[in-house]
Amino acid sequence: MTLTEKVLARAAGKASVQAGDNVWVNADVLMTHDVCGPGTIGVFKREFGANAKVWNPDGVVIIPDHYIFTADSLSNRNVDILREFARDQGLKYFYDVIDDPNGTWKFDAAKGSFARQFGARYAGVCHAALPEKGHTRPGEVLFGTDSHTCMAGAFNQFATGIGNTDAGFVMGTGKLLLKVPETMRFRLEGRLQPGVMAKDVILHVIGEIGFDGATYRAMQFDGPGVAGLSMDDRMTIANMAIEAGGKNGIFPFDARTAEYVEARTRLNGTRQAYEPVEADADQKCCYERVVDLDKLEPLVACHPDPGQRKTAKELGGMKLDRAYVGSCTGGKASDFVEFARVVRGRKVAIDTFGVPATPTIVRELQTTWWGDQTIWQILQDAGVRLTENAGCAACLGGPVDTFGRMNEAGLKCISATNRNFPGRMGSKESEVYLASPATVAASALAGKVTDPREYLS
């Protein structure tokens, strides 16, 4: 069996499963957020009754993160719906925006977008917050009402995005009927070279197979190259499995996984026991390909979909209006460090927005020194408009007052995020080009698409 089949077999209580089997799978964790949580709760109450209890109050993790720092009243109300539900159900893992369990959330536009407007529990972008808060464990099954839930596959677990109705079902029963996906295997070899990042690996893979190339399938990334990838790197790669249409992305377990997971579960007091899975020697995959990390170059996925792969060099010279670094894919601490490596001591030439994925990352950037400056100061000195209000921000456009949103038609933005369909970051007549944080940084300096290696020699 492949990694995915191993996890699903265990979660279905079966000795073995194979691709194509329909099995009832037990969930370990169900995650939802402010955009899909209220609808999921609505389905749960409608179907199981107004006073029904969730299947496991410690298994439901609620992370408001999408439309938080906006004056839009319906969005603010949605966070209040989550709070009331978490209170009624006695949920332990509700990462509220405010500290008062009986309060209501209201964003104060007068305070501006830059300074922190959240309480002590707020956790930021769900997919980055889940591992940080100790909710990702090898061998487990994670469902989330968000397509990038597949990011947690970095931790050797099965993680996939589902809709509100399915999530309402899981909330009440702890189970979901799934078809075991076929596995596509990507064997990573070699090491990433300077200026080339994990984002380039996944943009390369999507470029190879097409952005519906993994529809209904699992994407398994294994091979000797995995050892050289940090957990942040693996998260970036697994995150974008959905951009090839994949059901999930998954990595093998190793010492790095163990170290990360054990530290986070201990720190947050979440369940520490876990049991990783290993693929069998005779695993059956529907597709196999070697990815030579040494040979990869900085890439860009052009408007209007993540499969439009070009090298940064090929596109060199294409003028840009804006740059954006942030999101679950590209807003981790290591992403900002790589960005800083490129822009340190220089100035950006175009509007450049930076949104860390979580408050923990904000703190890390503000307390990690490089010479006599913190990473945060290096970025600010370079002219990056950095907000402390960690969250999804303009990654998916959002309400019109969202930080970094492209409200004008005709703008071209290079972004460290994961999607570039028309209108993704605001105006439907704007264009988004996806690249690694290093390539976004170099392009921000030059005002045009630029290979980051030009600044790293």
Partner 1 sequence: MQSVFTGAVYVVRDNIDTDQIIPAQFLNLVPTIAEEYERLGSHALCGLPDALYPTRYVAEGQLDSTFPIIVAGRNFGCGSSREHAPIALGSAGCGVVLAESFARIFFRNCIATGELYPCELTARLCEELKTGDEVTVDLDAATVTVKASGRVVPLKPLGDVRPVIDAGGLFDYARESGMIDQPAATA
Which sign does the torsion angle of CA 313, 315, 320, 323 carry? negative
CB within 8 A of 191, min separation 6: which ones? 225, 228, 293, 294
Considering the rule CB under 8 A, would residue 39 count as an interface residue with partner 1? yes
Binding site partner of 13, from partner 1, ligand SF4, none, Cβ cut-off 5-8 A by kind: none
The answer to whether 199 and 236 are in contact (CB under 8 A) is yes
Provide the 10 A C-beta neighbour count for residue 367: 10
Considering the rule CB under 8 A, would residue 163 count as an interface residue with partner 1? yes
CB within 8 A of 223, min separation 6: which ones? 186, 187, 188, 189, 290, 291
Considering the rule CB under 8 A, would residue 166 count as an interface residue with partner 1? yes
- Looking at the DSSP bridge assignments, the partners of residue 431 are 412
Considering the rule CB under 8 A, would residue 164 count as an interface residue with partner 1? yes
Binding site partner of 125, from ligand SF4, partner 1, none, Cβ cut-off 5-8 A by kind: ligand SF4
From candidates 145, 327, 358, 415, binder to ligand SF4 by CB under 6 A: 327
Considering the rule CB under 8 A, would residue 324 count as an interface residue with partner 1? no
**Please, what is the minimum distance in Å from the beta carbon of residue 193 to partner 1?**
31
Nearest 10 degrees: Cα torsion 97, 103, 107, 112: -80
Binding span for ligand SF4 by CB under 6 A among 79-87, 124-132, 169-177, 215-223 = 124-132
Task: Restricting to residues 82-121, name those near partner 1 by CB under 8 A.
Answer: none
Considering the rule CB under 8 A, would residue 75 count as an interface residue with partner 1? yes
Sequence-ordered strand ranges (E) for 89-206: 93-94, 141-144, 158-161, 175-179, 182-189
Query: H or E stretch including 291?
Result: strand 287-292
**Please, what is the minimum distance in Å from the beta carbon of residue 69 to partner 1?**
13
Please enumerate, as own/partner, the contacts of 403-412 that have beta carbons within 8 Å and a separation of 24 or more. Answer: 403/69, 403/113, 403/353, 403/355, 404/324, 404/326, 404/353, 404/355, 406/322, 406/430, 411/321, 411/322, 412/303, 412/318, 412/319, 412/320, 412/321, 412/322
Angstrom distances, CA of residue 447 to CA of 7, 236, 414: 46, 25, 10
Considering the rule CB under 8 A, would residue 38 count as an interface residue with partner 1? yes
- Measured from the CB atom, is 125 or 386 closer to ligand SF4? 125
Q: Angle at Cα 417 formed by Cα 415 and Cα 420, nearest 5°?
A: 75
Considering the rule CB under 8 A, would residue 209 count as an interface residue with partner 1? no
Binding site partner of 327, from ligand SF4, partner 1, none, Cβ cut-off 5-8 A by kind: ligand SF4
Binding site partner of 35, from partner 1, ligand SF4, none, Cβ cut-off 5-8 A by kind: partner 1
- Measured from the CB atom, is 89 or 164 closer to ligand SF4? 164
Binding span for partner 1 by CB under 8 A among 163-171, 201-209, 268-276, 361-369 = 163-171
The answer to whether 224 and 189 are in contact (CB under 8 A) is yes
Considering the rule CB under 6 A, would residue 206 count as an interface residue with ligand SF4? no
Task: Restricting to residues 28-57, name those near ligand SF4 by CB under 6 A.
Answer: none
Sequence-ordered strand ranges (E) for 316-441: 322-326, 351-355, 369-370, 373-374, 385-386, 412-415, 431-435
Considering the rule CB under 6 A, would residue 127 count as an interface residue with ligand SF4? yes
Binding site partner of 328, from partner 1, ligand SF4, none, Cβ cut-off 5-8 A by kind: ligand SF4
From candidates 13, 16, 46, 87, binder to partner 1 by CB under 8 A: 46
Binding site for partner 1 (CB under 8 A): 35-36, 38-39, 41-43, 45-50, 52, 66-67, 72, 74-75, 78, 81, 145-147, 149, 161-166, 168-169, 172-173, 211-212, 215-216, 245, 247, 304-305, 396-400, 419, 421-424, 428-429
Which residues would be at the binding site for ligand SF4 (CB under 6 A)? 66, 125-127, 146, 148, 327-328, 392, 395-396, 417-418
